[in-house]
């Protein structure tokens, strides 16, 4: 795509053309040439959307809940963008078919823009692609952006952290709660939803969650050893321990998404959390944390690409590995040799007075 075409794409997107939005997200998803410049430009136009991430095990009812939420926002006259991410299915295109069926309730309403993304072999890069796609939706002018992702592994945690508000869906009696907590989801969850609240065991699941939240927020229990004896990694803990008074206690909302029950309570919880972020400076703090993570992520990824080029220049990884296996050299020595140029470049300048 030429520079002129790219400028046209950006103008059309900013002017509210859904076709341009779709093309931009495709470019972002495929990492097509020019995607970086595209996202760099879009970034300047972001910052108005409210971004909610929704995660939970397969079958917990995420799709239905997202559909219903989108509908409620539309009824209020707000525009909605949905990004559904499935990190566990790098090969299948199955999600797309399912999505068409799901989105039937909003058919014809172009102001619910739906897009599914899958890993396509670029493990680890999916959270970056998601964050970039969210920027496209934000720059486009969508009022509400919903990020939906399956499960509770590290990649899902990374994906869902793109949102200002994280909703975790739990199915009664599934044992999901314990699994998710182990994955560090408790620490990034702002709102818990016990969906299918008409199932038996729902009351117990609600009570269990509330107890865990209470344990977390009670300083006498400490942060490091939770209810289930698991450890909470510091980097997952977005709460600022300095601001005891500003601490957010995640509410537990009961819904039956298929029937629409509890949707009003969920909307209230979401707007309360948004308000909490606004009054405590949490929105800005989250934006800075995200920016720092994006910078580091891009640096890691770009450095890896450059280092692969350097490996190739030195005969390729196989030749290097062969020399290590033959004990002619060793991995640390090779790393030192390959990074010497970078070390040279950075070191003299850091010694210089500025």
Q: Among 133, 78, 215, which Cα is nearest to 207's?
A: 215
Cβ atoms of 21 and 115 within 8 Å: the answer is no
Listed in sequence order, the residues at least 6 apart from 135 whose beta carbon sits closer than 8 Å to its beta carbon are 39, 42, 43, 46
CB of 267 to a second copy, least distance (A): 27
- Give the residue with the Cβ less far from a second copy, 203 or 335: 335
- Give the residue with the Cβ less far from a second copy, 103 or 183: 183
CB of 112 to a second copy, least distance (A): 27
CB of 197 to a second copy, least distance (A): 27
CB of 128 to a second copy, least distance (A): 9
CB of 122 to a second copy, least distance (A): 12
Cβ atoms of 237 and 226 within 8 Å: the answer is no
Q: Among 178, 184, 189, which Cα is nearest to 228's?
A: 178
CB of 227 to a second copy, least distance (A): 16
Place of tokens 């942060």: 223
Counting Cα atoms < 13 Å in the Cβ hemisphere of 264 gives 1
Q: Among 136, 167, 155, which Cα is nearest to 273's?
A: 167
CB of 143 to a second copy, least distance (A): 19
- Give the residue with the Cβ less far from a second copy, 96 or 291: 291
- Give the residue with the Cβ less far from a second copy, 18 or 36: 36
Rounded Cα distance, 225 and 227, in Å: 7
- Give the residue with the Cβ less far from a second copy, 105 or 225: 225
Rounded Cα distance, 335 and 42, in Å: 37
Cβ atoms of 43 and 133 within 8 Å: the answer is no
- Give the residue with the Cβ less far from a second copy, 107 or 304: 304
CB of 341 to a second copy, least distance (A): 4
- Give the residue with the Cβ less far from a second copy, 225 or 268: 225
- Give the residue with the Cβ less far from a second copy, 89 or 237: 89
Please list the residues that pair with 147 across neighbouring strands: 53, 83
CB of 294 to a second copy, least distance (A): 4
- Give the residue with the Cβ less far from a second copy, 106 or 174: 174
Rounded Cα distance, 127 and 173, in Å: 30
Compute the CA torsion angle 188, 193, 199, 200 (nearest 10 deg).
60
In the complex, which residues of this chain contact a second copy (CB under 8 A)? 36-37, 39-40, 43-44, 46-47, 88-91, 123, 154, 224, 230-231, 233, 284, 287-289, 291-292, 294-300, 302-304, 306-307, 309-313, 317-318, 320-322, 324-325, 327, 330-336, 338-339, 341-346, 349-350
List the alpha helices (DSSP H) in the chain.
Answer: 3-14, 18-30, 35-43, 62-75, 94-102, 126-140, 154-160, 176-182, 185-188, 202-217, 263-280, 282-313, 317-325, 331-351
Rounded Cα distance, 229 and 216, in Å: 12
Rounded Cα distance, 147 and 54, in Å: 6
- Give the residue with the Cβ less far from a second copy, 204 or 314: 314
Rounded Cα distance, 204 and 200, in Å: 9
CB of 179 to a second copy, least distance (A): 10
């Amino acid at each position: 795509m030429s520079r002129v075409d790219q400028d046209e794409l950006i103008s059309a997107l900013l002017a509210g053309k859904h076709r341009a939005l779709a093309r931009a997200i495709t470019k972002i998803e495929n990492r097509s040439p020019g995607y970086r410049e595209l996202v760099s430009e879009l970034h300047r136009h972001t910052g108005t959307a409210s971004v909610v991430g929704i995660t939970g095990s397969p079958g917990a009812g995420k799709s239905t809940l997202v559909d219903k939420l989108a509908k409620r926002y539309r009824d209020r006259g707000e525009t909605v963008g949905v990004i559904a991410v499935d990190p566990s299915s790098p090969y299948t295109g199955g999600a797309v078919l399912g999505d068409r069926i799901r989105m039937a309730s909003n058919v014809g309403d172009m102001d619910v823009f739906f897009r599914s993304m899958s890993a396509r072999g670029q493990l680890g890069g999916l959270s970056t692609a998601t964050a970039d796609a969210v920027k496209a939706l934000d720059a486009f002018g969508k009022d509400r952006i919903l990020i939906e992702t399956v499960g509770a592994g590290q990649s899902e945690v990374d994906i869902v952290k793109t949102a200002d508000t994280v909703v975790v869906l739990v199915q009664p009696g599934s044992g999901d709660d314990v699994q998710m907590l182990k994955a560090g989801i408790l620490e990034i969850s702002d709102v818990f939803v016990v969906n299918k609240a008409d199932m038996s065991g729902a009351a117990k699941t609600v009570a269990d969650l509330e107890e865990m939240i209470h344990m977390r927020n009670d300083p006498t229990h400490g942060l490091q050893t939770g209810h289930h004896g698991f450890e909470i990694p510091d980097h997952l803990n977005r709460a600022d321990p300095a601001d005891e008074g500003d601490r957010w206690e995640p509410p537990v909302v009961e819904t039956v998404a298929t029937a629409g029950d509890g949707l009003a309570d969920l909307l209230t919880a979401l707007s309360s959390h948004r308000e909490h972020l606004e009054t405590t400076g949490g929105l800005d703090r989250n934006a800075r944390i995200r920016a720092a993570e994006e910078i580091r992520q891009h640096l890691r990824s770009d450095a890896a690409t450059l280092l692969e080029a350097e490996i190739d220049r030195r005969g390729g990884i196989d030749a290097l590995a062969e020399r290590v296996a033959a004990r002619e050299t060793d991995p640390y020595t090779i790393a030192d040799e390959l990074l010497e140029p970078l070390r040279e470049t950075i070191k003299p300048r850091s010694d210089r007075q500025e």
